[in-house]
């Protein structure tokens, strides 16, 4: 089956620093990747949609300059949280949708990255 990985699984950073989270599709090409954020005991909220080779589309209320998304290849998308603050602490989950799966709306989710900003 299709596998999506995220790295790191857990990261602690100091306030004001930046942290990069990687999302990789391991055995398929992902034309579209989605980044979600999950607050404790809450549902997943879509942050942005990332299409390979083009700029990400951000959801309303998500700061594009703070959450930089790059989808440089068909197997890798990165989310960089810039100038992190404690309120950015959250669980970030990516999902990937394959080129061969177009029309089925099937997404494969990564295991998530726990970000803690101190």
The number of beta carbons lying within 10 Å of the beta carbon of residue 24 is 19
Q: How far is the CB of 27 from another protein (least distance, A)?
A: 16
CA 14, 109, 23, 97 torsion-angle sign: negative
Query: Which of the ranges 11-19, 68-76, 78-86, 103-111 carries the binding residues for another protein, by CB under 8 A?
Result: 103-111
For another protein, which is the closer residue by CB, 84 or 98? 98
Please tell me the count of residues contacting another protein according to CB under 8 A.
27
For another protein, which is the closer residue by CB, 72 or 99? 99
For another protein, which is the closer residue by CB, 80 or 107? 107
Q: How far apart are CA 107 and CA 87, in angstroms?
A: 28
Q: Give 98-107 contacts, CB < 8 A, sequence gap 24+.
A: 98/2, 98/25, 98/28, 98/29, 98/30, 98/31, 99/28, 99/29, 99/30, 99/31, 99/74, 100/28, 100/29, 101/2, 101/28, 102/31, 107/34
The pattern of x and - marking residues 57 through 96 that bind another protein according to CB under 8 A reads ----------------------------------x-x-x-
Report 19-48 residues binding another protein (CB under 8 A).
Answer: 32, 34, 36, 41-46
Q: How far apart are CA 87 and CA 54, in angstroms?
A: 28
Residues that bind another protein (CB under 8 A): 6, 32, 34, 36, 41-46, 49, 91, 93, 95, 97, 101-107, 109-112, 114
């Amino acid at each position: 089956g299709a596998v999506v990985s995220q790295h790191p699984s857990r990261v602690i950073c100091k306030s004001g620093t930046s942290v990069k989270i990687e999302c990789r599709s391991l055995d398929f090409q992902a034309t579209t990747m989605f980044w979600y954020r999950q607050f404790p005991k809450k549902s997943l909220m879509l942050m942005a949609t990332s299409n390979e080779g083009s700029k990400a589309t951000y959801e309303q209320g998500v700061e594009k300059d703070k959450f930089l998304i790059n989808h440089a290849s068909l197997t890798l998308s990165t989310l960089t949280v810039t100038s992190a603050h404690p309120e950015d602490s959250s669980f970030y989950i990516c999902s990937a949708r394959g080129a061969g799966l177009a029309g089925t709306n099937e997404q494969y989710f990564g295991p998530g990255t726990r970000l803690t900003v101190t």
